């Protein structure tokens, strides 16, 4: 009788180890099969391109290997600690530099823009950076104007680097020819091009390296790929040899991400503190209810690091979204020390969390793409800090509702930078929601406005259904305009709507 429980205990102990061994064997098998598949793919690359592609595939293999190794969540919720005192500096406490130091500081800077995205979500073809956003100027035009103005004003030589993807590279190269006469040196490099993986077989779906023939089989692996691709391009070493010290990196569609002289001063100017250089800065800003999904800064294992919503266990998503618990969110404006990037890459300690992005291709095949986020590298550096910047440094244009704001009289344009109108009584931007069916594509959106309404006193705007706006319309306070299915609402020229609800049959009610 006494032997029976023992048997059960031993049997019970064997099961997990069997399961573990099974998983280990499966992973080893998957890795071996992947290596074989990648070797076969490399056979299809022309000889001149093979060394570069081989380097890229090594990066993919390392990412894939880590994907297989990862077991369970990358963050244990109970081990998140409060941010230490001073971990996030308040922007208002950072000093402005002396005027005669600015040129020297700028000559140690490289500006990098993430330019891998297409404008398809807004109904545009080609790179997102060539969508006109203000006075017929595109994201790229505004960026070049900003940097040229800095270079001219301070007689400096800040280069602009564009990280393209295989989706945007060719079109971007054509566009940048027009900046030849400008006082800005422009460099481009491509982020990696990785094969998508079948969710069933865990193997690449691509059959050869003729990427343009089967573009759906490939993907750019997120902006976390910046570091390795920047080094592979040779630009990282080139800029270090030129004596440049920091790069300022941001999304090309964030119109608030201009070069900030005060932050640069904190890194290499009069405001630099202590002997040890700051290796990594993440600009964060105060979270509002509109930003609850944005990544945030946490203290974990005595390091500052980025926590993205994808890493949060389901039962803690509401905690993550709480404005009280996590006060800041990541703007994706990053400052990083060039020599530190090189050190971390050479030491092979750049281990960013992997984002597994599930997709379904047009042919119905389910695939995964492995990605990383540029801010997730923060934990790999020493002496990283957050800087709590004004909201004006985060002005992304992801949807036409954002476009409405940046095209309006809320902003004026000064040397390629958007400056909020002094007539606006408070610095927050209005909350705008435009219906997907009639407003989501840029061309549709533009056709619905005779000109952009006056938004200076607007707090909140919701528009849904078939709605058009005449010339010289003014929107103030909270305005809700809803055309029911089959109805159409034309807001007449010169109308002033203040705290109004306009419903299906064109009744205008006080809100």
How distant, in Å, are the alpha carbons of 30, 165, 374, 410 from that of 195? 15, 14, 20, 43
Res. 253 pLDDT band, cuts 50 70 90? very high
Question: In angstroms, rounded to a whole number, what is the distance separating the alpha carbons of residues 394 and 253?
Answer: 10
Q: Tell me whether residue 222 is annotated as binding.
A: yes
User: Is 169 labeled as ligand-binding?
Assistant: no
Strand partners, 432: 461
**Average pLDDT in the 138-147 region?**
95
Residue 314 annotated as part of some ligand binding site: no
Q: What is the pLDDT of residue 25?
A: 65
Binning pLDDT at 50, 70 and 90, where does residue 264 land? very high
* Angle, helix 169-176 to helix 139-154, in steps of 10 degrees: 50
Kindly list the strands in the beta sheet with 474-482, ordered across the sheet, starting from the edge strand earlier in the chain.
431-434, 458-464, 474-482, 496-503, 507-510
Q: Is the pLDDT reported for residue 184 higher than 90?
A: yes
Q: Is pLDDT of 3 > 50?
A: no
**pLDDT score recorded for residue 313:** 80
pLDDT tier, 18 (very low <50, low <70, confident <90, very high otherwise): low
Tell whether residue 191 is among the known ligand binding residues: yes
| pTM of model > 0.75 | yes
For residue range 111-133, list pLDDT tens digits in order: 999 999 888 888 888 899 999 99
Mean pLDDT of 459-484: 94
The confidence band for 43, taking pLDDT boundaries of 50, 70 and 90, is confident
Residue 129, both tokens: 């950076």
Average pLDDT, the chain: 87
> What pLDDT score does 11 carry?
34
Q: Are 283 and 389 within 8 A, CB to CB?
A: yes
* CB proximity list for 249: less than 8 A, separation 6 or greater: 112, 113, 114, 226, 333, 334, 335, 336, 374
Separation CA 300–CA 81 (nearest Å): 6
Q: Is the distance from CB of 161 to CB of 236 less than 8 angstroms?
A: no
How confident is the model over 332-381, as pLDDT tens digits? Answer: 999 999 999 999 999 999 888 888 889 998 889 999 999 999 999 999 99
**What is the mean predicted confidence (pLDDT) over 464-476?**
94
| Residue 376, SS3 per DSSP | helix
pLDDT band at 16 (very low <50, low <70, confident <90, very high): very low
CB environment 355-369: b (16+ within 10 A), e (fewer): beeeeeeeeeeebbb
Q: Which of 142-156, 275-289, 392-406, 472-486 has the lowest mean pLDDT?
A: 275-289
The partner residues of 354 in beta bridges, in order of sequence, read none
> Would the annotation count 223 as a binding residue?
yes
Q: Mean pLDDT lowest for which of 14-28, 276-290, 474-488?
A: 14-28
Q: What percent of the chain has pLDDT over 70?
A: 93
What is the C-alpha separation between 294 and 290, in angstroms, rounded?
9
Crossing angle of helices 3-42 and 50-69, in 10° steps, is 170
Give the pLDDT of residue 10.
34
185 vs 239: CA distance, rounded Å = 13
Instruction: Please tell me the distance from the alpha carbon of residue 243 to that of residue 506, in angstroms, as a whole number.
Output: 64
Report pLDDT for 174. Answer: 93
Percent share of the chain, pLDDT over 90: 57
For residue 218, give both structure tokens. 């490939």
pLDDT value of residue 23: 59
Q: Is pLDDT of 97 > 90? A: yes
Name the strand (E) or helix (H) holding 28: helix 3-42
- Greater confidence (508 vs 206) lies with 206
Q: Is 128 annotated as a binding residue?
A: yes
How deeply is 46 buried, as exposed, middle or buried, from its count of CB atoms within 10 A (0-12, 13-18, 19+)?
exposed
Question: Which pLDDT does position 429 carry in this prediction?
Answer: 87
Handedness of CA 231, 69, 82, 297 (dihedral sign): positive
Q: Which of 398, 399, 433, 441 is catalytic?
A: 398
SS3 247: strand
Instruction: Return the higher-pLDDT residue of 169 and 75.
Output: 169
Active site residue 113: no
Residue 499 exposure: Cα atoms within 13 Å on the Cβ side:
2
Q: What is the DSSP letter of 308?
A: -
Q: What ranges in 185-260 are assigned the alpha helix state H?
A: 226-232, 235-241
DSSP state of 377: G
């Amino acid at each position: 009788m006494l032997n029976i429980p023992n048997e059960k205990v031993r049997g019970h102990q064997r099961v997990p180890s069997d399961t573990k061994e099974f998983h280990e064997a499966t992973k080893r098998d998957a890795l071996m099969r992947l290596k074989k598949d990648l070797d076969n793919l490399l056979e299809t690359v022309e000889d001149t391109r093979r060394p570069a592609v081989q380097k890229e595939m090594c990066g993919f293999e390392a990412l894939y290997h880590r994907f297989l190794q990862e077991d369970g969540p990358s963050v244990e919720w109970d081990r998140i600690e409060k941010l230490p005192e001073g971990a996030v500096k308040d922007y208002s406490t950072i000093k402005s530099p002396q005027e005669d130091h600015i040129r020297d500081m700028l000559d140690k800077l490289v500006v990098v823009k993430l330019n891998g995205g297409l404008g398809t979500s807004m109904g545009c073809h080609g790179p997102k950076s060539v969508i006109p956003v203000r006075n017929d100027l595109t994201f790229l035009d505004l960026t070049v104007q900003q940097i040229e103005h800095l270079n001219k004003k301070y007689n400096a030589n800040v280069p602009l680097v564009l990280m393209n993807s295989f989706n945007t590279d060719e079109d971007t190269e054509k566009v940048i020819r027009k900046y030849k006469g400008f006082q800005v040196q422009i460099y481009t490099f491509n982020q990696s091009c990785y094969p998508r993986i079948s969710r069933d077989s865990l193997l690449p779906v691509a059959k050869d390296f003729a990427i343009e023939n089967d573009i759906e089989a490939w993907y750019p692996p997120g902006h976390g790929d910046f570091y390795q691709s920047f080094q592979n391009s040779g630009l990282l070493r080139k800029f270090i040899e030129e004596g440049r010290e920091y790069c300022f990196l941001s999304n090309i569609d964030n119109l608030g991400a201009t070069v900030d002289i005060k932050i640069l001063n904190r890194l290499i100017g009069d405001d630099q503190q202590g002997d040890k250089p700051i290796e990594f800065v993440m600009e964060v800003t105060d979270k509002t209810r509109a930003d609850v999904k944005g990544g945030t800064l946490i203290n974990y294992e005595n390091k500052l690091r980025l926590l993205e919503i994808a890493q949060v266990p389901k039962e803690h998503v509401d905690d993550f979204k709480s404005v009280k618990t996590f006060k800041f969110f990541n703007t994706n404006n990053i400052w990083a020390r060039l020599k530190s990037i090189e050190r971390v890459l050479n030491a092979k300690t750049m281990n960013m969390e992997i984002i597994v992005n599930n997709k379904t291709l047009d042919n119905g095949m389910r695939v995964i793409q492995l990605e990383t986020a540029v801010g997730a590298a923060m934990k790999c550096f020493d002496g990283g800090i957050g800087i709590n910047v004004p909201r004006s440094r985060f002005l992304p244009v992801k949807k036409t509702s954002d476009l409405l704001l940046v095209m309006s009289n809320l902003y004026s344009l000064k040397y390629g930078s958007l400056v909020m109108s002094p007539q606006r009584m408070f610095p927050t931007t209005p909350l705008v929601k435009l219906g997907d069916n009639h407003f989501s594509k840029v061309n549709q959106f533009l056709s619905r406005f005779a000109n952009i309404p006056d938004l200076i006193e607007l707090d909140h705007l919701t528009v849904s259904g078939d709605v058009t706006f005449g010339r010289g319309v003014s929107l103030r306070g909270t305005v809700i305009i809803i055309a029911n299915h089959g109805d159409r609402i034309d807001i007449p020229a010169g109308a002033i709507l203040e705290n109004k609800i306009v419903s299906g049959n064109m009744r205008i009610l006080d809100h």
